[in-house]
Amino acid sequence: MLAATLVCVGVTFAQQEMSKEQWQQEVNRSTQLRNELQTKVQHLTNEVNALQAQSSKLDGDVNKCMGDLYTLVGADVQKTEAYRAEIEAAERKADDLIRLSDADLSARSGEVNELAAEVKSLPENKLSLIPEFSGRLDALDHKAASLQKSSSPPVATANSYTVGNGDCLWNISKKKDIYSNAWLWPKIWKGNDLVKNPDVIRPGQKLTIPPGGEMSSEEKAAAKKYYAKKLKGAL
């Protein structure tokens, strides 16, 4: 701006004849303008330096606070970086799985369950209390739960079945509209008090069909006892 002003002054001098007094006034005016601009530049420079100093102090305060926080949770910068990397890896895995269809997720349910287990273990680290991580862990937990729900086949709800001629618990259990798995027959046995002997059911009996899924510990124990008794009888 100062250079432009001096050029304009030079052009003015060239375009018109000035007296010595007028020339001196123009020089004085240009000098004053230059000084004013230099003062403004210096003022702005001082403000920038002050802001930089303030920023440096704030950065130092933040670093000190984070250092104190790491000490409280028994960690340091290196451990924090490693923990951050764990979370980022889990986030990437969750995002990749979320893009899949429910059918594909069902086929990769093992990966989904591994991710869910990993996500559940992350809060065990005290670093999870740091604000940077707590919100991300909540989001991860929500994603993992959603993925597990989408990857799990629907579980049959309780219903009833009327025993027909030639039926047995094994055959009933393997029916497609029951469990599609003959080995789950103990669920029907233990879910019906009227069935005292699992080998004896009669046509016309109305059986309650408990929800499907993995057998309970009680059902497994009953099946084990049943098979042991059968084996002993065979010997």
Q: Are 173 and 187 in contact (CB under 8 A)?
A: yes
The string of pLDDT tens digits covering residues 206-229 is 999 998 888 999 999 999 999 888
Range of the domain at 119: 79-151
The alpha carbon of 34 is separated from its chain's Cα centroid by a whole number of angstroms, namely: 59
Number of domains, the chain = 2
Q: What is the CATH number of the domain that holds 225?
A: 3.10.350.10
Q: Is residue 215 part of a domain?
A: yes
Q: Is the pTM of this model over 0.75?
A: no
Tell me the β-bridge partners of 161: 207
Q: Is residue 197 part of a domain?
A: yes
Question: Going by C-beta distance under 8 Å and a sequence separation of 6 or more, which residues neighbour residue 178?
Answer: 156, 161, 172, 209, 212
Q: Is residue 185 part of a domain?
A: yes
Q: Is residue 121 part of a domain?
A: yes
Say whether both 186 and 139 belong to one domain.
no
Q: Is residue 9 part of a domain?
A: no
Place of tokens 């497994």: 220
Q: How many CB atoms are located within 10 Å of the residue 205 CB?
A: 14
Q: Are 187 and 198 in contact (CB under 8 A)?
A: no
- Tell me which DSSP letter residue 183 carries: G
Average pLDDT value for residue range 113-124: 92
- Tell me which DSSP letter residue 30 carries: H
Say whether both 107 and 131 belong to one domain.
yes
Q: Is residue 98 part of a domain?
A: yes
Q: Is residue 169 part of a domain?
A: yes
Say whether both 182 and 222 belong to one domain.
yes
pLDDT band for position 16 (50/70/90)?
low
Final residue belonging to a domain, choices 151, 179, 205: 151
The alpha carbon of 100 is separated from its chain's Cα centroid by a whole number of angstroms, namely: 16
Which stretch of 11-25, 47-61, 120-134 has the lowest confidence by average pLDDT? 11-25
First to last CA, the chain: 110
Say whether both 207 and 223 belong to one domain.
yes
Q: Is residue 73 part of a domain?
A: no
Say whether both 124 and 167 belong to one domain.
no
Cα gap 51→123, rounded to integer Å: 39
Question: Going by C-beta distance under 8 Å and a sequence separation of 6 or more, which residues neighbour residue 142?
Answer: none
Final residue belonging to a domain, choices 129, 151, 173: 151
Say whether both 146 and 106 belong to one domain.
yes
Final residue belonging to a domain, choices 135, 151, 167: 151
Average pLDDT value for residue range 144-160: 74
